[in-house]
A and B are shown apart, each in its own frame.
Chain A
Amino acid sequence: MRHGKYRFIVGFLVPPLLLYGIFVLSPYAQTFYIALTDWRGLSAELNFIGLENFAELVRDGAFWNALRHNGLLLVIVPAVTIALALFFASMLNLGGRRGGSAVQGVRGAEFYKVVYFFPQVLSIAVIAILWQFVYNPRSGLLNGVLDVLGLGFLRATWLGDPSLALWAVMAVLVWSGVGFYVVLFNAAIQAIPRDLFEAALLDGAGRLATFRRVTLPLLWDSVQVAFVYLGIIALDAFALVQIMTFGPGGPDDSTMVTGLYLYKNAFEYARFGYATAIGVAMFFLTLSLAVLTLRVTRRERVEY
């Protein structure tokens, strides 16, 4: 009987572990080796060149440029997305003060909730193409709206202007990400007992004070997770940049991100060894970011 149980468990565990080993662990392990070669990716020929790829990486201005863009995304996208999502989520739940009695959301909260979530339903490819149209300098929605509002002087080429293109990308990242976190924070807020908010209200706390003293501390776990997720997205941003920007990565490398630079080296310049070295560098960066975020944001858990 006992014997049979183990066989049962092993039978279930071995196939997935095997698959995981073959398709996840082993490629990862090989990545570290390929990063030390000059493999072109077109034949089985390759030479071991030690740390040369990494030495080149350190000197490669284009790589640092791409990394700087990821850094900028990392600083701005998570902060803005989370701030907006927190604002929307708390307004949806606690923003209404009709008659000053009960704690409730703003009027039409249910409707807004659905609207915010819309972008989440679209695939990143659709989002990118959609925004390409929005940003079109001659027939795009954005310039059109600016005209209608009498702000024609603000018209721009958006994705065609190196000083604006990365900001245009960030705006889309925030736009497409915010809905998910509104829903996430919304669920977390609803898990907080109502009487805490009512007590705060009775004590005369305003909306801002309630948010700072009650909502945010109780949401901290969710916020922390959101930071890690968004941080990883900011370190990547590959798909959106690849589809939406000119070049892609342009104009003039103004939207180049590390993932795209990796891709370019591998698939355009036939430098798989070097591209893999970039991948290894990004692996460690992403890993450190996740660990760091979880460490830094660690706080005493509030029990209720």
Chain B
Amino acid sequence: MKKLAQWHFFAFWDRTGIQHHLEEMAAKGWMLERIGLLYHYRRCTPGKYRFCVTYYPDADPSDPAPTEGEQDFQALVSYAGWELAATNAQMQIFCTDREDVVPIETDPVLEVENIHRAMKPRLSANRSNAICGLVWMVYGLLQCLTEPVRFWSIPLFQLISMFFLLEVAESGSSLLAYSRWRRKARKAAEEGEFLATPNLVPLNIAFILVLVAAFALYFAAAFTGQNNQFNEAIWIFLLIPIDTVIVIAAWKGMKRLGVAKQTNKMVLNIGSVFLFVVGVPLIIVLAMGSGLAERPGVRGGTKLDSYRWDGTTYYLYLDELPLKMEDLQPDLAYDGYVSKLDSTESFFAGSFEAEQSPRMDDPDKEQYPTLEYECVTVKWKALWSLLYNDMYQKFHRLSLNPVSGDPVPWDADQAWTSDGGECLLCYGDTIVFLRLPFTPTEAQMQVIGAAFGGN
């Protein structure tokens, strides 16, 4: 093997960690060749090499070639006995096998200032990421508080919240670690000392692992239980990497063609905005229009056919429902019902909304009442109160004179009823909100109890 490429988790400013690692690699016979997404190494004679990670703050990764200033800097450092190994934006990595070569940085105050100048664009990006993540986190938190059933039963919402939580944690911890190091480094520099940079590799690896675990859990939840279908989230997860590859390829292509950095950046920004701000929502709309996803994260009922009535298109569904009008009214002789079930399920909770209603174009539809209900299964017991309150509030909002009822006839643990036929029932881990078109008899209550796993 003559070449080696490795992914590294060093912070951009972790000059100590990078230097040590490159010295270890060179001692094993691997010399740094270039840095892209990965660190690329070539075979070299194993030996004692000294590496120095320094920064040229005015370097711009969008420049088609190193600027005059950057080349002057590299020439001066080379004259002093150092050989340029690789560059990565402002980062300049030099190496030497000579013992007597003077270090590139001999003034710690200047070095800290220099690193800070090089870090400025990254710090701005980190701050923007932290703010953006914070906004999304607040949005997720609000959703968790105002619509807990929806939040905890849709894996996509949990993934998005976890993603932004990690973004805030990662950006925040990077900013914090850097500002802490800088404060100490400036103090040490006043005493003429160079302060080693802290090792953030374990923390960065931990963030990646948590993110991978979050995605794995999402995909596991999305393809099992009630979500076993190709939904719009998959489109997003396919589209974002494709968009990223297109943007990076365009950026590199323009660099190769010698396009000026301002033009490159402008095209890149416009392209990114178009691909991510316009492209992703466009795909979601297309996915929704094509019936791949009716609502984010929710498995819609199976469309069998469509018909038009009064200028509107309606779809026909014949989904399996746990409770049907025929179960409650066995003598009902009507086969024109449309049965629709929208369901979603995460590792924390599952929910479905069922509706059985006559076709809109049926002239006798008034004779056949509509049955609607929503069922929530709480898998993580700690969520019980939160999800129960959500359902209870919905029941109270939509019911006429709600009162606490006797659970026994329903075979339930708890029962709330109302004058309008609405009722809220609890069966073990399941909460059911029913909107019956009539006041149920005891026999019908038992049928309902049997349908939802009564005692």
Pairing of A with B: no
